[in-house]
Amino acid sequence: MNESHKDMGAPHLSKKILDLIEQKGLSPKPRWHFFVREWVVWGMVCVALLVGSLATTLTIYIGNASRFMERHILFSDLLFLFRLVPFLWLFLLCIAIFYTVYALRETRRGYRWSSSWLVAGAVGVSILIGSSAHALGIGEAIDRYLLTEMPLYKPLTNFHPKMWMDMEKGVVAGTVTEVEKETFMIKKLDGEILKIMVVSEKDMHALPELHEGMRVRVVGTTTIEGGENVFKSTAVEPFRGRGGSLFKRVRIPPLPEMKER
Protein backbone atom coordinates (compact mmCIF):
# COMPACT_ATOMS: atom_id res chain seq x y z
CA MET A 1 0.00 0.00 0.00
CA ASN A 2 2.78 2.36 0.88
CA GLU A 3 4.77 1.37 -2.14
CA SER A 4 6.56 4.36 -3.62
CA HIS A 5 5.73 5.48 -7.13
CA LYS A 6 9.47 5.52 -7.80
CA ASP A 7 9.50 1.78 -7.21
CA MET A 8 6.63 1.43 -9.65
CA GLY A 9 8.76 2.82 -12.43
CA ALA A 10 7.01 6.21 -12.61
CA PRO A 11 9.12 9.25 -13.61
CA HIS A 12 10.78 11.16 -10.80
CA LEU A 13 8.05 13.36 -9.29
CA SER A 14 10.25 16.41 -8.67
CA LYS A 15 11.35 16.45 -12.31
CA LYS A 16 7.79 15.98 -13.48
CA ILE A 17 6.59 18.85 -11.28
CA LEU A 18 9.42 21.18 -12.29
CA ASP A 19 8.70 20.43 -15.95
CA LEU A 20 5.03 21.16 -15.37
CA ILE A 21 5.89 24.44 -13.62
CA GLU A 22 8.06 25.46 -16.57
CA GLN A 23 5.52 24.32 -19.12
CA LYS A 24 2.68 26.25 -17.48
CA GLY A 25 4.95 29.25 -16.81
CA LEU A 26 4.04 29.22 -13.12
CA SER A 27 5.84 31.45 -10.68
CA PRO A 28 5.46 32.03 -6.95
CA LYS A 29 2.96 34.73 -6.00
CA PRO A 30 4.87 37.83 -4.82
CA ARG A 31 5.26 38.43 -1.10
CA TRP A 32 3.19 41.64 -1.23
CA HIS A 33 0.19 39.58 -2.38
CA PHE A 34 0.13 37.87 1.03
CA PHE A 35 0.84 41.11 2.88
CA VAL A 36 -2.06 42.84 1.13
CA ARG A 37 -4.37 39.95 1.92
CA GLU A 38 -3.37 40.05 5.58
CA TRP A 39 -3.83 43.82 5.77
CA VAL A 40 -7.23 43.60 4.10
CA VAL A 41 -8.33 40.99 6.65
CA TRP A 42 -7.05 43.11 9.55
CA GLY A 43 -8.80 46.11 8.00
CA MET A 44 -12.05 44.12 8.09
CA VAL A 45 -11.39 43.29 11.74
CA CYS A 46 -10.93 47.00 12.51
CA VAL A 47 -14.11 48.00 10.64
CA ALA A 48 -16.11 45.31 12.45
CA LEU A 49 -14.67 46.43 15.81
CA LEU A 50 -15.48 50.06 15.02
CA VAL A 51 -19.08 49.19 14.15
CA GLY A 52 -19.30 47.08 17.32
CA SER A 53 -17.91 49.96 19.39
CA LEU A 54 -20.39 52.45 17.90
CA ALA A 55 -23.23 50.02 18.55
CA THR A 56 -21.99 49.69 22.15
CA THR A 57 -21.82 53.50 22.51
CA LEU A 58 -25.39 53.86 21.28
CA THR A 59 -26.57 50.98 23.47
CA ILE A 60 -24.97 52.56 26.56
CA TYR A 61 -26.28 56.00 25.66
CA ILE A 62 -29.87 54.93 25.01
CA GLY A 63 -29.81 52.59 28.00
CA ASN A 64 -28.54 55.42 30.18
CA ALA A 65 -31.13 57.82 28.87
CA SER A 66 -33.90 55.32 29.57
CA ARG A 67 -32.60 54.66 33.05
CA PHE A 68 -34.02 57.99 34.16
CA MET A 69 -37.52 56.60 33.68
CA GLU A 70 -36.71 53.15 34.98
CA ARG A 71 -35.32 54.65 38.17
CA HIS A 72 -38.24 56.87 38.91
CA ILE A 73 -41.51 55.51 37.70
CA LEU A 74 -41.52 52.59 35.36
CA PHE A 75 -39.95 49.78 37.31
CA SER A 76 -43.24 47.87 37.31
CA ASP A 77 -44.15 48.50 33.67
CA LEU A 78 -42.20 45.70 31.98
CA LEU A 79 -43.79 46.17 28.56
CA PHE A 80 -42.75 49.81 28.58
CA LEU A 81 -39.24 48.92 29.71
CA PHE A 82 -39.05 46.36 26.88
CA ARG A 83 -39.76 49.17 24.40
CA LEU A 84 -36.82 51.12 25.79
CA VAL A 85 -34.28 48.37 25.00
CA PRO A 86 -32.17 49.50 22.01
CA PHE A 87 -32.67 46.29 20.02
CA LEU A 88 -31.41 47.81 16.76
CA TRP A 89 -28.01 48.59 18.27
CA LEU A 90 -27.84 45.34 20.20
CA PHE A 91 -28.55 43.47 16.98
CA LEU A 92 -25.85 45.45 15.16
CA LEU A 93 -23.45 44.76 18.03
CA CYS A 94 -24.08 41.00 17.71
CA ILE A 95 -23.50 41.13 13.93
CA ALA A 96 -20.29 43.13 14.45
CA ILE A 97 -19.01 40.66 17.07
CA PHE A 98 -19.80 37.73 14.79
CA TYR A 99 -18.05 39.40 11.86
CA THR A 100 -15.02 40.36 13.99
CA VAL A 101 -14.59 36.74 15.08
CA TYR A 102 -15.00 35.55 11.49
CA ALA A 103 -12.41 38.04 10.19
CA LEU A 104 -9.97 37.26 13.03
CA ARG A 105 -10.22 33.60 12.11
CA GLU A 106 -9.14 34.55 8.57
CA THR A 107 -5.94 36.22 9.79
CA ARG A 108 -2.73 34.27 9.46
CA ARG A 109 -2.68 33.00 13.05
CA GLY A 110 -6.33 33.52 13.94
CA TYR A 111 -7.02 29.79 14.07
CA ARG A 112 -4.85 29.45 17.16
CA TRP A 113 -7.40 31.21 19.40
CA SER A 114 -10.56 29.49 20.52
CA SER A 115 -13.90 31.02 19.58
CA SER A 116 -14.72 31.87 23.19
CA TRP A 117 -11.49 33.91 23.52
CA LEU A 118 -12.15 35.67 20.23
CA VAL A 119 -15.73 36.55 21.26
CA ALA A 120 -14.52 37.72 24.70
CA GLY A 121 -11.81 39.84 23.06
CA ALA A 122 -14.20 41.39 20.53
CA VAL A 123 -16.79 42.16 23.24
CA GLY A 124 -14.09 43.56 25.55
CA VAL A 125 -12.63 45.88 22.90
CA SER A 126 -16.13 47.02 21.82
CA ILE A 127 -17.04 47.84 25.43
CA LEU A 128 -13.73 49.64 26.03
CA ILE A 129 -13.91 51.81 22.90
CA GLY A 130 -17.71 52.11 23.17
CA SER A 131 -17.68 53.43 26.74
CA SER A 132 -14.84 55.85 25.94
CA ALA A 133 -16.83 57.13 22.96
CA HIS A 134 -19.90 57.43 25.20
CA ALA A 135 -17.92 59.50 27.71
CA LEU A 136 -16.94 61.82 24.85
CA GLY A 137 -20.60 62.24 23.86
CA ILE A 138 -20.21 60.46 20.53
CA GLY A 139 -23.21 58.20 21.19
CA GLU A 140 -25.47 61.15 21.85
CA ALA A 141 -24.19 63.01 18.79
CA ILE A 142 -24.85 60.02 16.52
CA ASP A 143 -28.27 59.37 18.04
CA ARG A 144 -29.32 63.02 17.65
CA TYR A 145 -28.00 63.13 14.11
CA LEU A 146 -29.87 59.96 13.14
CA LEU A 147 -33.06 61.13 14.86
CA THR A 148 -33.06 64.37 12.90
CA GLU A 149 -31.63 63.20 9.57
CA MET A 150 -32.98 59.69 9.14
CA PRO A 151 -36.77 59.39 9.23
CA LEU A 152 -36.55 55.59 9.45
CA TYR A 153 -34.41 55.66 12.58
CA LYS A 154 -37.17 56.77 14.98
CA PRO A 155 -39.51 53.83 14.37
CA LEU A 156 -36.55 51.43 14.22
CA THR A 157 -35.43 52.43 17.69
CA ASN A 158 -38.95 52.76 19.08
CA PHE A 159 -38.27 56.38 19.91
CA HIS A 160 -41.38 58.33 20.82
CA PRO A 161 -40.57 61.62 22.54
CA LYS A 162 -44.08 61.67 24.00
CA MET A 163 -43.31 58.68 26.16
CA TRP A 164 -41.26 61.11 28.23
CA MET A 165 -44.42 63.11 28.78
CA ASP A 166 -46.84 60.89 30.64
CA MET A 167 -48.07 63.00 33.53
CA GLU A 168 -50.17 60.13 34.88
CA LYS A 169 -46.99 58.15 35.29
CA GLY A 170 -45.34 61.20 36.83
CA VAL A 171 -42.95 62.30 34.08
CA VAL A 172 -42.98 65.33 31.87
CA ALA A 173 -40.52 66.89 29.42
CA GLY A 174 -40.22 70.23 27.76
CA THR A 175 -38.33 73.50 27.40
CA VAL A 176 -37.98 75.98 30.25
CA THR A 177 -39.72 79.25 29.39
CA GLU A 178 -39.52 81.08 32.65
CA VAL A 179 -37.63 80.65 35.91
CA GLU A 180 -38.93 82.15 39.15
CA LYS A 181 -37.98 81.81 42.79
CA GLU A 182 -39.89 78.62 43.63
CA THR A 183 -41.37 77.71 40.33
CA PHE A 184 -40.45 77.48 36.70
CA MET A 185 -42.56 77.14 33.58
CA ILE A 186 -41.98 74.69 30.79
CA LYS A 187 -43.39 74.37 27.32
CA LYS A 188 -44.15 70.65 27.07
CA LEU A 189 -43.28 68.67 23.97
CA ASP A 190 -46.95 68.96 22.90
CA GLY A 191 -46.77 72.76 23.19
CA GLU A 192 -48.79 73.13 26.39
CA ILE A 193 -47.38 75.35 29.14
CA LEU A 194 -47.00 73.77 32.57
CA LYS A 195 -46.03 75.25 35.89
CA ILE A 196 -43.49 73.26 37.85
CA MET A 197 -43.27 73.84 41.56
CA VAL A 198 -39.99 73.37 43.34
CA VAL A 199 -40.10 72.65 47.05
CA SER A 200 -38.11 75.55 48.55
CA GLU A 201 -35.65 78.27 47.76
CA LYS A 202 -32.90 75.92 48.85
CA ASP A 203 -33.91 73.57 46.07
CA MET A 204 -33.80 76.36 43.54
CA HIS A 205 -30.19 76.94 44.52
CA ALA A 206 -29.64 73.32 43.65
CA LEU A 207 -30.55 74.13 40.04
CA PRO A 208 -27.81 76.48 38.92
CA GLU A 209 -28.02 75.35 35.31
CA LEU A 210 -31.76 75.90 35.00
CA HIS A 211 -32.34 78.67 32.52
CA GLU A 212 -34.75 79.70 29.82
CA GLY A 213 -34.54 77.59 26.69
CA MET A 214 -33.11 74.58 28.53
CA ARG A 215 -34.75 71.24 27.79
CA VAL A 216 -35.56 69.30 30.94
CA ARG A 217 -37.22 66.12 32.12
CA VAL A 218 -39.11 66.30 35.37
CA VAL A 219 -40.42 63.59 37.68
CA GLY A 220 -43.13 64.35 40.18
CA THR A 221 -46.90 64.48 40.72
CA THR A 222 -49.68 66.63 39.35
CA THR A 223 -51.77 68.67 41.75
CA ILE A 224 -54.28 71.44 41.25
CA GLU A 225 -53.51 74.68 43.01
CA GLY A 226 -55.55 77.84 42.55
CA GLY A 227 -57.51 76.16 39.76
CA GLU A 228 -54.49 75.37 37.60
CA ASN A 229 -52.42 72.26 37.03
CA VAL A 230 -49.16 72.37 38.93
CA PHE A 231 -46.51 69.72 38.70
CA LYS A 232 -44.56 69.18 41.92
CA SER A 233 -41.14 67.95 41.02
CA THR A 234 -38.97 65.40 42.81
CA ALA A 235 -36.21 65.27 40.20
CA VAL A 236 -35.17 67.43 37.29
CA GLU A 237 -32.72 66.39 34.63
CA PRO A 238 -31.46 68.18 31.52
CA PHE A 239 -33.01 66.58 28.46
CA ARG A 240 -30.85 66.55 25.37
CA GLY A 241 -31.82 64.16 22.62
CA ARG A 242 -32.95 61.23 24.69
CA GLY A 243 -31.56 62.67 27.89
CA GLY A 244 -28.05 61.48 28.40
CA SER A 245 -25.58 61.88 31.20
CA LEU A 246 -23.38 64.60 29.79
CA PHE A 247 -24.75 67.11 32.28
CA LYS A 248 -24.81 66.72 36.01
CA ARG A 249 -28.20 65.44 37.06
CA VAL A 250 -29.99 67.62 39.57
CA ARG A 251 -31.88 65.94 42.39
CA ILE A 252 -34.58 67.58 44.40
CA PRO A 253 -35.48 65.99 47.75
CA PRO A 254 -39.01 64.52 47.60
CA LEU A 255 -41.79 66.55 49.14
CA PRO A 256 -43.09 65.14 52.44
CA GLU A 257 -46.43 64.02 50.95
CA MET A 258 -44.65 62.30 48.04
CA LYS A 259 -42.65 59.95 50.22
CA GLU A 260 -45.63 57.60 50.30
CA ARG A 261 -45.56 57.06 46.50
**Contact set with other proteins (CB under 8 A):** 1-2, 4-5, 10, 13-18, 20-22, 26-31, 33-34, 108-109, 111-114
Closer of 122 and 196 to other proteins (Cβ): 122
Judge contact between 172 and 218, C-beta under 8 A.
Answer: yes
Closer of 16 and 160 to other proteins (Cβ): 16
Q: Is 185 left (phi over 0), alpha (psi -120 to 50) or beta?
A: beta
Closer of 76 and 116 to other proteins (Cβ): 116
Q: State the nearest-atom distance from the C-beta of 17 to other proteins, in Å.
A: 5
Residues in contact with 145: Cβ distance below 8 Å, sequence separation at least 6, in sequence order: none
Judge contact between 222 and 167, C-beta under 8 A.
Answer: yes
Q: State the nearest-atom distance from the C-beta of 121 to other proteins, in Å.
A: 13
Closer of 112 and 205 to other proteins (Cβ): 112
Q: State the nearest-atom distance from the C-beta of 93 to other proteins, in Å.
A: 25
Q: State the nearest-atom distance from the C-beta of 159 to other proteins, in Å.
A: 43
3-state DSSP assignment of residue 10: coil
Judge contact between 191 and 210, C-beta under 8 A.
Answer: no
- Please calculate the CA angle 213-217-221 and round it to the nearest 5 degrees: 125
